A and B are shown apart, each in its own frame.
Chain A
Amino acid sequence: MQINALCKNGPALVADKPGKRLLTRITGIKITRQTLLCMKITAFILFAFCIQVSATTLAQNVTLSEHKAPLEKVINEIKRQTGYSFFYNQDWLQQAQPVVINVKNVPLNEALKACFANQPFSYAIVNKTIVLKLKEKTNPEIKLLVVPVNVSGKVTDTAGVPLPGATLRLKNEGKTYVSQNDGTFLFGAQSGEQVTVSFIGYTPYTFTVAENMPFQTVVLRTGENKLSEVVVSTGYEQLPLERATGSFAKVDNKLFNQRVSSDVLSRLEGNVPGLIFNKNTSKGANGGVDINIRGHNTLFSNDQPLIVVDNFAYDGDINNINPNDVESVTVLKDAAAASVWGVRSGNGVIVITTKKGRRNQPMTIGINSNLTVGSKPNLYYSRNFLNAADYIDVEKKLFDEGTYDYYLSDPTYVVTPAVRLFQDNKLGLISDSEVSKQIEKLKSQDARDDLSKYLYRHSFSQQYALNLNGGSNNSDYYLSIGYDKNLGSEIGVKDDRLTINSTSNYYPTKKLQLSLGINYIQNTNVNNGGISSGILPFPYLRLTDDQGNPAIVEQGYPNAFKDSYVQQGYLNWNFIPLIDRDYMNNVSKQIDNRFNVGAKYDIITGLNFNINYQYENLNTQGKNYNSVESYQARNLINRFAQIGSDGKVTFPIPVGGILNSSLGQLSSHQYRGQVNFSKDWNNKSQLNAIAGVEIRHSVSENSTNIAYGYNDETKTSIPALDYLSYFNTIPYGSEQIPNYSGFGKGVNNFLSYYSNASYVYNNKYVISASGRIDQSNFFGLKTNQKAVPLYSLGIGWNISNENFYNIKWLPLLKARMTYGYNGNINTTTTAITTIRDEINAPFNGIPFASIQNPGNPRLRWERNRMINLGIDFGTKDNRVTGSVEAFYKKSVDLFGNSPIAPTSGLLQYFGNVAGTKGHGIDVALNSNNLRIGRFQWESRLMYNYVVDKVAKYDVKSTVSTYINQNAPQSNIVPLEGADVYGVYSYKWAGLDPANGDPMGYLDGKLSKNYAAILASNSFDNLNYSGPARPRHSGSLRNTLSFGNLSLSVNITGKFGYYFRRESISNVGDILSGGQGNADYLMRWQQPGDEQHTTVPSIQYTPFDFDRATFYKYSSVLVTKGDHIRIQDITVNYQISRNQWKKLPFRQMSIYSYVNNVGIIWRANKLNMDPDLFNGYGIPPVKTWTFGIKGNF
């Protein structure tokens, strides 16, 4: 009805004069439309604006002149004039009386009063909606008998924010009331009446009317459990899950805030089925983000999900987004959900929706502040460590065998203190007793004590966030400021971040919405931790002397060697790690600015148009400064120093500080025009559709520079150095002065067309479709001209809405299925031939060029096909709700190497030739296990299963390439038919009982011919141990609450995968001053040991490296990664003004959070954490957070 009324008004507005004029003027500019695709969009946008320009200002005053008009007509007229909408039951109008009214420019209220004077309705104005109520029929008899109770109260959310427009339904009378602007309500009802309060997005709440009812405070909780009320965001539109066919996973605000962190992504861990955090990969272990949604869908292209913040793809560093500004996160997992994002959706999409203000809302002030303290890192965890006593015994043995003679004869070679002692003793410089005394002392030392004491500390983080939000009648706003400061576990490592956000919407007319967002993020990282990696890490290293003073550590060259140069005039060459870090300053800064504007215009009811534009500018600046006092600078200056014939020392690298600096800038423009259409036919069927165009242009530029002789105070350096000459360097050789100057620039252009539509029939059947065409500057025009759309189709069936459905205990049951394609991109390839400049041609020394990338005009997007089958269900009273999804995926046109006929000029080319396939299951279950009075127990279970296989790959590598992978969880060596990430090994045949040699198989026969085993290229000798990434993973979160107090424990687990651990089979590592390995203690020493150990006898020189390689990559070191850990525990106490009237704030929580609690079960017997890189390194530190959060 409302739609019809507005439709009639539509054309009149379009025909209005100012609009026409504007159109004429624009078309007067003669620009060929064919060449300017952009013009088409512009024309459309202009069209939309023309409409807007002509729209009249809405008045709050009304002019009505009717004589015996139907009420409906009057209502429509009021609607037209004021922009207010009406809310009533169509059937009631039959009881309406004809209206006689004649008012001119009177306030709305007066007009309404006049209209409804003689009507069987009363009315209330709620948030620009006029809600009609059928007047109760006066029945004097009953009135005398039962006196209605006055029910008054207020509806708020858990934060105490009033919820205007909440529906209060009386069960027996069938009446409904609506809460007012401030959330309050007042109505009369019979005692014993049941009132259900509901609001979209929240779980309904029911109370019973009793005599002498006090003021009711109804607190509604966000309804995460109920499918029908969850709204997800695709980045292009808001979509109620009820209408969706695809695979969406939503993390609402409550769940999002279960974890405490200064970044967004880590809060998703364990909260999204299908989203896996790979922590043991090269990237993940180095603090990077390495996540996968539903496994891996590519071989050599980008494998990270697309991150969308509000409407646009986010180009900056995701760690810059302040989680306190995030309202919710939706993860798009299948084709139907994600394919609207086209070629960047192949790895799934994470859509982050930030907080917004709400109209007609008094200002709310939100605060959040917390402190996090971390435990000291556990350096004693790693098995890559051999205690000093055993270590020195090995050194002694090696020394006695003369193994060090060669090294000791080289004055530039650094040996450990023990070896130096043995040598001094041998030379007679030190007595036997003194040696044994000093050796005993060394044996009692543990390097980890000093490292732990002087290099690490308790981490300490502070987080402060403040936001203001609210809205008036025609605008809303959200302003926030956040500050995070982290002091890392490593002394000298710290960062801080300032975020300022502002988003506001302005509604100049009912049809137009203008939005403006400005974000400013400033991030400073200081990394002056650790000690130089060139140091010998032997297990009895000391950083201090016996008095606790910083000690000189031998690094680079022996101190005696260095001293000989220092005496001639070189700079002091000592390395004192504990002082040295004061002379360095490695700082990187980021400033990320985002600016976006948008406009949305309702053309007619159900049809609107929006345009959005975002500009992002990300500046990064890195400065790595080593002052002249730093070892790094002194060492480089000394190495290049020259002694002249007169004995004078000259310094080609000027004596002064050294500054390495880098600058990066990324700027992107994103522009979108979109038409949204929705129509509802008599509540029977609904159509929702969007279509749009998106343009994206981003430019990244970077440069690096080095300054010598740099003085940080005066900011001066010595510019003219001789970078071309070769200088004789210490100890030998000649080098040019390092000159890290460079520049780079990348441009990334996309033009995309997309559309998405869904049709719902009778609330039972849903059909959805989406399509997108992407064109970019990566693949050249040939591919663009033949653009293949990425599309999806989906169907959904709300079984529980069928008339025949009568399973009482399962009131919600929905089945859905989707099919479609997502895409992925590989930016390393080009459609055009690129060449690489080279110098020094072999015959004539001339510069030349060679083909770097043979042009491949047929390059195209990688395509990921996914079929998704899902069931959503909810048992009675939402006791158990959840979804189970199965997916089948097949990726085609993946980039990979392929053989090609040599007449082409190539033997292999990198093109769209490979494929993978996979399948898996995602399960999400929520259950309310127990509710006794104020006690409540809820659980949330997630389970994922995923298998990824290489389906097509024409190039086979050698057997050893598959096996010799030190990080099989990070590197893909495709083998057709095998897991994408696989751990391969040499078959293990135990230890030789005679001498503890490792034994393997060669062509099925027991063998110790290591060289032959290693050289064998027979695939029969390739042993597959299992996948290197978890097949199964899951999490279980249990939340217990008692009144205002809640406790939540999150348990996560990963199963069905393997990693390659390290061990020791010769003392090569010890010989070179490494840390050794604890497996040494379990080595085979005498016949019989093979019964209880798999560590071979330890080899001394000469080493058989083939034996060591065989053992290193043998199946016995492939270890099961399965483990379960308690990830985090949260305790929250919440009080609100609803309960305690005198509180100065609406609501406040005090919370405590423990993260990285620890592993509670693991498959390996060695106490290793498989989430660390190959099980080594420093385990994540346990942190404790205390915080307070409130709303005023």
Chain B
Amino acid sequence: MKNKILWVLTLSGLLFLLGCAKKDDFLNEKSDAKLATLSNLISVEKLLHNEQIFNLRAIPSIAGSSTDDYYIQDKNYATYSFSDRNTYTWSKQIYPTGSDDYNWNVPYMQIFNANHALEALQAIGDNSTKSNILKGTALFYRSIAFFSLLQTYTMPYNGGTNDQLGIPLKLTSDIYEKVSRASEKECYEQIFKDLATAYELLPTATTYNTQPNKNAVNALCSRIYLSIGDYQKAYEFSDKCLQFNSDIVDYNTLKKDFIGISKNTPYPLKEVVYNTTMLGGTFTTFQTAVDTTLYKSYDSDDLRKSIFFTNLFGYPTFDGSYEFKNYNVFGGLANDEILLTRAECFARMGKKDEALADLNALLIKRYKTGTFTPRVASNSELALNLILQERRKELCFRGIRWLDLRRLNTEVKYAITLKRNITGQIYTLPPNDPRYALPIPDKEIQLSGIPQNPR
């Protein structure tokens, strides 16, 4: 009897202990069944479908706020915040002491999400097409975030001939990992490497234009190469992009509402390659006045004048965002930009006719039907001038102006000094000024100790 009891006890104890099997499994068991983790492809896919993070108010606007796309009227100036006013006047200090700024935070939040996705995919270790697409998507999201940070917070890239400071290249999701600023060369190399991988992995088409496909990579690459003045590469990628899809929306078909493009317009616009929008800032608000010179540069038959602008407040303001679902300013990639990039590259390569052909292909869709006369030029330099003028008019309020200013300032004939006039007080931003790299927010400097940009 006694022995029986002991046996029962022993066996039950043994069974229980065997039941807990491996210690690691025991201690890794999910504590709440509701906790969803990035443990399978579906969850990673959903994370990458987070349009709130990757597409909605996703691109820094502070650089756009530093451009001559717009101006602030004297009477409104005081209503703008401390940072907004400082951004507008290219001050040495922009943010309140110790504060952070979403223009810096948001791209890093995207990088954080993308890194999580990449790590989860590695852990899942699945080499299916779906897994590859997700990896390509995450790499694309991370690259576009890195690139927009570089354009905002570093000086224009000179091909890595000296060690200009880039941005912290955060490549893991570990919140404790300290990363200092890499060199610009390292940054661009990382981006190109990642985009090359993404291109291999991504599909040729996606259901939603908020998710990247091969063509989005081409479009982004053409923008990046253009921004660093590599016109050969910019040409190659823009050409590749347009080979696949060269849709340009005929503005005669666009409907306009009281504010913005009508929601009755077929959505999304075929012209859009990759859809994302700008963060809020002084230059994205509806009340912001359009630069007078810019506004005047449109012909009366130019539909862009009415599609892009409105006169609600007694002065022209921008309300022509390609993203008319959420009333945010479009900050993505579209064929008009790519077409103009290819036209510019052609012109710079001396291919005047090809350049003008691209330019005219765009403009015919921008003028009232029957009013457009194709542009002509006697040489490629004149063609380039025409193209740059149209680029200014076509791509305003897209965040591209800042990139173009930085790039063209290196060419003396195109360099310009920006001016602000606030009740007679004049502020200027000369070409290649160190202020073309915005300051990194104080909070980042304080907490991670990375070097600040000289201003």
Contact of A746 among B26, B32, B116, B325 (CB under 8 A): B32
How far is B372's CA from A452's CA once the two chains are assembled, in angstroms?
88
Contact B112 A906 (CB under 8 A): yes
B36 to chain A, nearest CB (A): 5
Q: Does A726 contact B (CB under 8 A)?
A: no
**Which of A45, A900, A904 counts the most B-chain CB atoms under 10 A from its CB?**
A904
B residues near A781, Cβ cutoff 8 Å: 24, 27-28
Q: Does A821 contact B (CB under 8 A)?
A: no
Contact B22 A49 (CB under 8 A): no
Q: Does B258 contact A (CB under 8 A)?
A: no
A residues near B351, Cβ cutoff 8 Å: none
A residues near B176, Cβ cutoff 8 Å: 858, 904
B119 to chain A: closest residue by CB: A833
B1 to chain A: closest residue by CB: A508
Known: A834-B35, A849-B36. A842 touches B26 (CB 8 A): no
Contact A909 B17 (CB under 8 A): no
How far is B50's CA from A697's CA once the two chains are assembled, in angstroms?
36
Q: Does A855 contact B (CB under 8 A)?
A: yes
Contact A906 B34 (CB under 8 A): no
Contact B33 A746 (CB under 8 A): yes
Contact B37 A835 (CB under 8 A): yes
A residues near B175, Cβ cutoff 8 Å: 854, 856, 900, 904-906, 909
Q: Does A94 contact B (CB under 8 A)?
A: no
B residues near A599, Cβ cutoff 8 Å: 6, 9
Q: Does A53 contact B (CB under 8 A)?
A: yes
Contact B111 A905 (CB under 8 A): yes
Contact code string A774-816 (vs B, CB < 8 Å = 1, else 0)? 0111101100100000000000000000000000000000000
Contact code string B34-61 (vs A, CB < 8 Å = 1, else 0)? 1111100001001101111101100000
Q: Does A841 contact B (CB under 8 A)?
A: yes
B425 to chain A, nearest CB (A): 30
Contact A843 B36 (CB under 8 A): no
B5 to chain A: closest residue by CB: A514
A524 to chain B, nearest CB (A): 29
A743 to chain B: closest residue by CB: B33
How far is B22's CA from A36's CA once the two chains are assembled, in angstroms?
6
Q: Does B203 contact A (CB under 8 A)?
A: no
A784 to chain B, nearest CB (A): 6
A898 to chain B, nearest CB (A): 10
Contact B108 A903 (CB under 8 A): yes
Contact B31 A746 (CB under 8 A): yes
Q: Does B335 contact A (CB under 8 A)?
A: no
Contact of A835 among B28, B36, B112, B115 (CB under 8 A): B36
A residues near B6, Cβ cutoff 8 Å: 49, 52-53, 599
B131 to chain A, nearest CB (A): 17
Contact of B18 among A38, A53, A514, A852 (CB under 8 A): A38
Q: Does A597 contact B (CB under 8 A)?
A: yes
Q: Does B13 contact A (CB under 8 A)?
A: yes
Contact A837 B46 (CB under 8 A): yes
How far is B20's CA from A669's CA once the two chains are assembled, in angstroms?
11
Q: Does B78 contact A (CB under 8 A)?
A: no
Contact code string A977-1016 (vs B, CB < 8 Å = 1, else 0)? 0000000000000000000000000000000000000000
Q: Does A113 contact B (CB under 8 A)?
A: no
Contact A899 B35 (CB under 8 A): no
A residues near B115, Cβ cutoff 8 Å: 905
A residues near B38, Cβ cutoff 8 Å: 833, 835
Contact of A749 among B27, B49, B105 (CB under 8 A): B27
A828 to chain B: closest residue by CB: B32
Q: Does B168 contact A (CB under 8 A)?
A: yes
B residues near A841, Cβ cutoff 8 Å: 49-52, 210
Which residues of chain A in 46-82 are interfacial with respect to chain B, using CB atoms and an 8 Å cutoff?
46, 49, 52-53
A residues near B112, Cβ cutoff 8 Å: 851, 854, 904-906
Q: Does B173 contact A (CB under 8 A)?
A: yes
Contact B116 A851 (CB under 8 A): yes
Contact of B23 among A751, A780, A854, A857 (CB under 8 A): A751
A residues near B323, Cβ cutoff 8 Å: 843
Q: Does B447 contact A (CB under 8 A)?
A: yes
How far is B6's CA from A834's CA once the two chains are assembled, in angstroms?
45
Known: A835-B38, A849-B47. A45 touches B10 (CB 8 A): yes
B residues near A695, Cβ cutoff 8 Å: 17, 20
B123 to chain A, nearest CB (A): 10
A52 to chain B: closest residue by CB: B6
Contact of A833 among B10, B56, B173 (CB under 8 A): B173
Known: A842-B51, A899-B447, A909-B175. A849 touches B275 (CB 8 A): no
Contact B326 A843 (CB under 8 A): yes
Contact A613 B28 (CB under 8 A): no
Q: Does A907 contact B (CB under 8 A)?
A: yes
Q: Does A848 contact B (CB under 8 A)?
A: yes
Contact code string A829-872 (vs B, CB < 8 Å = 1, else 0)? 01011111110011110111111111111100000000000000
Contact A842 B37 (CB under 8 A): no
Contact of A830 among B26, B31, B168 (CB under 8 A): B31
A177 to chain B, nearest CB (A): 37
Which residues of chain B in 318-356 are interfacial with respect to chain A, using CB atoms and an 8 Å cutoff?
323, 325-326
How far is B33's CA from A233's CA once the two chains are assembled, in angstroms?
36
A-B contact pairs, 15 of them (CB 8 A): A36-B18, A38-B17, A42-B14, A52-B6, A599-B9, A748-B31, A781-B28, A835-B36, A838-B50, A843-B210, A849-B47, A852-B36, A901-B443, A905-B108, A905-B111
> Which positions in B face A, CB cutoff 8 Å?
2-3, 5-6, 9-10, 12-14, 16-18, 20-24, 26-38, 43, 46-47, 49-53, 55-56, 100, 104-105, 108-109, 111-113, 115-116, 168, 170, 173-179, 208, 210, 275, 323, 325-326, 441, 443-444, 447-448, 450
Q: When A and B form their complex, which 9 residue pairs have the shortest distance between CB atoms, in order from nearest?
A: A905-B112, A849-B46, A38-B17, A745-B33, A901-B448, A901-B447, A848-B49, A841-B51, A904-B175
> Which positions in A face B, CB cutoff 8 Å?
35-39, 41-42, 45-46, 49, 52-53, 508, 514, 597, 599, 611, 613, 669, 671, 695, 697, 744-749, 751, 775-778, 780-781, 784, 827, 830, 832-838, 841-844, 846-858, 899-907, 909
Q: 7 more A-B contacts (CB under 8 A) besides A695-B17, A833-B173? A: A42-B17, A751-B27, A830-B35, A903-B168, A903-B448, A904-B170, A905-B111
